[in-house]
Amino acid sequence: MLPRYILKQLFFPPGILILLLLLGWLLRRRAPRAAAGCFVLGLLGLTLMSLPVVVQQTATVLETEPPLSLQAWPGLAQRAEVIVVLGAGRERGDPAWGGEDQPTGIALERMRYAAALARASGLPLLTSGGLHYGEPPSEAEIMARSLKSDFNVDTRWVEPRSRTTWENATLSAELLKAQGIHKVVVVTQAWHMPRARWSFERAGLEVVSAPVGFLGRSSGRPLGGWVPDAKAVWQNGQLLNEVIGQLGYRLFY
């Protein structure tokens, strides 16, 4: 798991872009043309990764699932049997919480939405997410604990083994089908929703999409989002990972 993580960080922005800049520096005397090419690619890539307007435009392409209208929330019980919340990582050993692992900001955003849907519809919850780098507790367990303590909503099922979106779907389907359940509401980020829906449908479940955290809208930033922003680097990394994930799923699943 660790070598895979290191390789991903090195060959995925911004790691690969930093490597290009470093390579450009190392080749500046031996191969000046190649060095210039590496430098231009690295600098251009870092610039694009830092622009909020790139976040907005990329998200617009990925966010193909419409949001659930507020009026549709109470009627979800007629369309589905359970709300599935997908994991989104964890924060390790937060001292503010006695050293216990906590959900990430994205996970909390999903959980808040899922809790609101559960209250409005009366549907039960399932959390899905495995171990982070092989260390307990699982993301699903952390989310279930937080849903109870922070949102006063119980979790009926916990799926603690999945490491990917595909496994979120297949392992959740395995658990739910054993209970005779085949219709689910899936809660995840709007840019991740198409791949999640595709995975759950391939696992044999009927899906109601419940996307949250839309990024494909005006950022309201100065100059239309053309000013570099540190947050955009992380967001563009997430979106690029999703683009690669969608392509990979179509090829290998």
Tell me if 219 is assigned to some domain. no
pTM of the model: 0.94
Taking residues 31-41, report their average pLDDT: 97
* Angle at the Cα of 104 from the Cα atoms of 100 and 106, rounded to 5 degrees: 160
Q: Indicate if 186 and 77 belong to the same structural domain.
A: yes
User: Which range of residues forms the domain containing residue 234?
Assistant: 2-61+225-252
| CA pair distance 178, 174, nearest whole angstrom | 6
The whole-chain average pLDDT of the chain stands at: 94
- Specify whether 77 is located in the same domain as 30: no
* Same domain, yes or no: 232 and 206: no
Q: Would you say residue 106 lies in a domain?
A: yes
Q: Indicate whether 137 and 161 sit together in one domain.
A: yes
Domain assignment of residue 218, yes or no: no
| Same domain membership, residue 29 and residue 8 | yes
User: Residue 1 above 70 pLDDT?
Assistant: no
pLDDT tens for 184-207 read: 999 999 999 999 999 999 999 999
Residue 68 exposure: Cα atoms within 13 Å on the Cβ side: 26
User: Does residue 130 sit within a domain?
Assistant: yes
Query: Pairing mode, if any, of strands 125-128 and 157-159?
Result: parallel
How many structural domains is the chain composed of?
2
Q: Let me know if 133 is exposed, middle or buried by CB neighbors in 10 A (0-12, 13-18, 19+).
A: exposed
Residues with Cβ < 8 Å from 64, sequence gap 6 or more?
A: 193, 194
Which long-range CB contacts under 8 A does 19-25 form with residues at least 24 apart? 20/45, 21/46
Q: State whether 99 and 17 are in the same domain.
A: no
pLDDT at 68: 97
Examine the pLDDT at 223 and tell me if it is beyond 90.
no
Strand, coil or helix: what is 21?
Answer: helix
Question: Are the CB atoms for 158 and 126 separated by under 8 Å?
Answer: yes
Residues 155 and 205 in one domain: yes
Judge if 91 and 194 occupy the same domain. yes
Please indicate, yes or no, whether residues 98 and 145 belong to a single structural domain of this protein: yes
Residues 78 and 187 in one domain: yes
Domain identity same for 46 and 69 = no
CB of 188 closer than 8 Å to CB of 213: no
Contact in structure between 171 and 159 (CB atoms under 8 Å): yes
- Which amino acid type is present at position 191? W
